[in-house]
Structure 1
Amino acid sequence: MARTKKNRLIQMAPDFGGFIPQGIQNRNGKEVHINFEEYEALNLCDYELLTQAEAAKMMNVSRPTFTRIYESVRRKIAKAFIEGSPIRFEGGNVEIASWYKCEHCKITFTLVENSPKVCPLCKNYIITENK
């Protein structure tokens, strides 16, 4: 019996549904589906320029698990580019991080699990959760 997958922590889901290649007359290519955790892995390593160890910690997974997720999304993107296939984002085993706003200095931030709810910049305790 297979183990149930642990939820991966992501900072934010994409606010768009995917990509469609331009200039393709015959759209016989099947859609490539990218899970939110794969999107987050690509974001953390290739956009935010974190190491895989740092990104794994942010997603609350082991580094080898993160590497598997990251390699999967890169293969899927390569396939979509080479075959001219549309890319669609879809769910997955994810939990979206809670974001907070400091009432004093007005910054928006997220907190590490089990840390005190205090602004990391001005140390103010008057914060509100953004939804």
Structure 2
Amino acid sequence: MARPEKNRRVYKPPKMKGFKPFGIPKCELEVVQLTIEEYESIRLVNYEMLQQKEAAVLMNVSRPTLTRIYNKALKNITKAFVEGKAIVIDGGNYKFEKEWRRCKRCFKLVEEKENHIKCIKVSDNNSEELIQLDKK
């Protein structure tokens, strides 16, 4: 039997839940899923300009595993770009470094519940306006 995958370490969740191509009606869109760890590999290697070896250490995986995650992410993004599909960023096998939440009303990311400032769009300070993003 195969060994279960360990959680990949992710610094913080993406600001958005995905992307939609311009010029294609939403009702005609197909989607491609990008996992949270695939997003993180792209962020570390392409945005932060880290070597794959360094990114692997930050994600708590081996360098070959990071390469597989990264290549799958590139394949999914390329497929969405070429075929005009939406990208949905969700799922995977990951663990955030800190406790992250997202406001249900304004979609702002909140690091640690204690740092939450009442949403402008809410009339009372209701902690239920926050969705916990960590996988349990």
Normalising by structure 2, we get a TM-score of 0.69
**AA aligned opposite 2:24:** I
Residue in structure 1 matched with residue 42 of structure 2 by the alignment: 42
Question: How far off its partner does 1:24 sit?
Answer: 1.9
Counterpart of 2:74 in structure 1 is 74
Deviates further, 38-47 or 26-35: 26-35
Q: Would you say the 8 A contact 1:29–1:83 is kept in 2? A: no
Is residue 2:65 matched to residue 1:59?
Answer: no
Taking structure 1 as reference, are residues 90 and 25 closer, same or farther at Cα in structure 2, changes over 3 Å only?
A: closer
| Aligned partner of residue 88 in structure 2, secondary structure | strand
SS in 2 for 1:32: strand
Calculate the aligned-residue CA RMSD, in Å: 1.8
Question: 1:26 Cα deviation (Å)?
Answer: 8.3
| 1:85-104 superposed Cα distances (whole Å, 9 cap, x missing partner) | 000011211110138xxxxx
Q: Residue 29 of structure 1: CA displacement?
A: 4.9
Aligned pairs for 1:115-130 (under 5 A) are none
Report sequence identity in percent. 46
Following TM superposition, by how much is the alpha carbon of 1:56 offset from its aligned partner in structure 2, in angstroms? Answer: 0.1
Q: Deviations over 1:65-105 (max 9, x none)?
A: 00000000000000000000000011211110138xxxxxx
State the Cα distance separating 1:15 from its structure 2 match.
2.3
- Count residues with an aligned counterpart: 101
**Partner Cα separation in structure 2 for residue 7 and residue 88 of structure 1:** 20
| Counterparts in 2 of 1:2 and 1:78: CA distance versus 1, 3 Å | same
Distance 2:23 2:98 in 1: 40
Query: Is the partner of 1:33 in helix, strand or coil?
Result: strand
Contact 2:12 2:98 in 1 (8 A): no
Bigger Rg over Cα = 1
TM-score under structure 1 length normalisation = 0.72
2:43 is paired with a residue whose SS is helix
Q: Is the 8 A contact 1:32 1:88 kept in 2?
A: yes
In structure 2, what is the equivalent of residue 125 of structure 1? none
